[in-house]
Amino acid sequence: MTRSVQLAALAVLTMAASAPVAAAEAPEAAAKRCHALGTLQLRDTSIVSAAFVPARAAETTIAGETPGHRSFCRVVARVKAAPDSDIGVEIWLPVEGWTGVFHGNGNGGFAGVLAGGYAGMADGLRRGFATATTDTGTAPATPLEGDALIGHPRKWRDWGRLSTHVMTATGKAITRAFYGQDARRAFYTGCSTGGQQGLIESLYYPDDYDGILVGAPVINRTWGHAAVLWDHAAAHRTPGSLLSPAKLKLLNKAAIATCWRQGHGLAGDPFVSDPFSCRFDPAVLTCKGAASDGCLTESEVATARAFYSGPTRRDGKASYFGWLPGSETPDAYGWSFLQTPINGEPPFGSLFKWVFGADWDWKGFDFDRDMPRVDAQLGPIVNDATRGSLDAFVKRDGKLIIYHGLADTLVAPGQSVAFYERQAAALGGTRKLEDNARLFLAPGMMHCGGGTGPDAFNATLGIPPRPPVDDARHDIFSALIAWVDRDEAPDRIVATKFSSEDRSEIEMQRPICPYPRKAVYRGAGSTRSAGNFLCTPP
């Protein structure tokens, strides 16, 4: 839920300089035209600021190259359409070289800050798009902390359903005012909470965007938070239940080896290719004698099993999805994060305080007893992505791409598959749905990026692929644009894993394929080369 926010502080530095496609406007004239937006009158909207940002050329210093950016008009607005509703919107408008495209971006976690969309906006500006984001109306919340929203149901609704449409309508109106014409195309990109925002657009506001790219979308919001709480509770059930970094590495190594022996991975790969098909029981690591870093105690086995199973009822039936074999890592936002208290509480636990009050204590939470109350109060407000149909979006020939890392430990990959299969069943099958919507599953990738698998294929998250991002074979946003503009449906995206911090050296490249197809090794040639893999049906 937080990777886009984690990258936000670096977002402006990721903007690559791009030559304008039209004659440059004099800086004084551009600044005057930008400042004039400060007096723009829009319903329920106040323009907080409208400032001209001069272009900056790329420069090479002793520390390396600092990317530049084109000049743009930066506008910040607030929309207050109802009591207790206050939705922040920010838009960057290229002064020269606008391509006629409006680009909306998602946020992360509980949002509350505009910076959560900056990485995507940086990429949009590089492409010559008018590019916008929203704080989802949840300020003064922050991505990891939502306590400020206790007692504010309208803000829950803005966060769960309304704010992205408000951003889109407001952003398009400001774009029209600045350029004197409507955008000819509209695209949306976002991951995690931003992924949920994009799905809401496709399901309930199908006319807003021509193409929508969403990663790791939070589909069932209440149970997504419940899964994190379930893991945290399992890890803190007894003093010996916590899984140390050494134990997580042990689990990960054993899971990869087990899945490889079952035929769900390749020898030498540090990830599992098909974790859905793998069966791994952490009990195989149970200590036979004294506890050590080379085995798991019974309490640690119980914790690992809880992580894999996900929330489970007392009768043993699964309530939600668990994490997949190969996802066990001590990395940032991995299994260690799920075990680590934030201000003494489970990550993202604020949502439960909206229901039970500021004094809620996670230690007394009973899933069978308490989740029905959570779903009854919040489900109709924040779980809209579990309902709705893509029918209207498909009928207007909109294009939707969903991607999800199979080693994700913040948003369960299984729910993206379930969403896609539900929509396919409602619209006539996978073959029919894939004319307008495709799902790409990335082995070894964590939440929105990172992990041991190839993860560089989406420039909107500040993770530039290789070759350059305009190549639709290697950049998933460029693939979406090609699908919308030229009807070139993406049959595979080549993802890159870099072996160096500066991304100058490539460790491997591997295709990710549209579901249900999978990348299968041809049987000859290097497994580090994407050209030696085929996307084949299961």
* Active site residue ranges: 192, 408, 447
The span from the CA of 88 to the CA of 311, in Å, is 35
How many angstroms separate the CA atoms of 233 and 191, rounded?
A: 26
Round to whole Å and give the CA distance between 57 and 54.
10
Q: What share of the chain is helix, strand, coil (3-state, %, to 5)?
A: 40, 20, 45
Residue among 49, 47, 84, 50 at smallest CA distance from 162: 84
Cα(445)–Cα(487) distance, rounded to whole angstroms? 28
Greatest Cα pair distance, the chain, in angstroms, is 78
**Pair of tokens at residue 537:** 């049906």
Among 208, 11, 200, smallest CA distance to 117 is for 11
At 298, the amino acid letter reads E
> For the chain, what's the residue count?
538
Give the Cα separation of 460 and 501 in Å (integer): 19
CB 371 within 8 A of CB 226: yes
Q: Which amino acid is at 82?
A: A
Distance CA 280, CA 252 (A): 11
Q: Measured between alpha carbons, how far is residue 89 from residues 75, 167, 196, 275, 420 in Å?
A: 8, 6, 18, 39, 30
d(CA 383, CA 164): 15
Q: Report the b/e string of 395-411 with b at 16+ CB within 10 A.
A: eeebbbbbbbbbbbbbb
Q: Which two tokens stand for residue 240?
A: 């010996």
Contact between residue 201 and residue 388 where contact means Cβ atoms under 8 Å apart:
no
- The DSSP letter of residue 448 is S
Distance CA 186, CA 207 (A): 10
Report the alpha-carbon angle 85-91-93, nearest 5.
155
